[in-house]
Amino acid sequence: MRKPDLAAQIADKADISVSKANDVLSAILDEITNSLSRKESVSLIGFGTFENRHRNARAGKNPQTGETIQIAASNSVGFKPGKALKEALN
């Protein structure tokens, strides 16, 4: 499912226009992004938690040449599913 499909589903369930649902979805995603950029985790009870994860610098290997390369430290986003989401999948 892509973002427009999700907005259409939200519009149908909430009985609002697709454009309004798209605005709401965009606002939610923007706020999640802003919170994560401020190093805050975002918990959606029953769905899951988005959190910042730091990856340390490490040595890697170029799969084509076998040459050892240095991979720089970086930040990433981790997601831990909530209980209700896990149960819905099983």
Among 2.60.260.20, 3.40.50.10580, 3.30.420.40, 4.10.520.10, name the CATH number for the domain at 41-90: 4.10.520.10
List the chain domain ranges: 1-40, 41-90
> CA dist 72 to 25, 39, 46, 75, Å?
33, 19, 35, 10
Q: State pTM to two decimals.
A: 0.79
Burial (CB < 10 A; 0-12, 13-18, 19+), residue 7, is buried
- Residue 58's nearest CA partner among 71, 49, 46, 69 is 71
* pLDDT, one tens digit for every residue, the chain (90 residues): 999 999 999 999 999 999 999 999 999 999 999 999 999 999 999 999 999 999 999 999 999 999 999 999 999 999 999 999 999 998
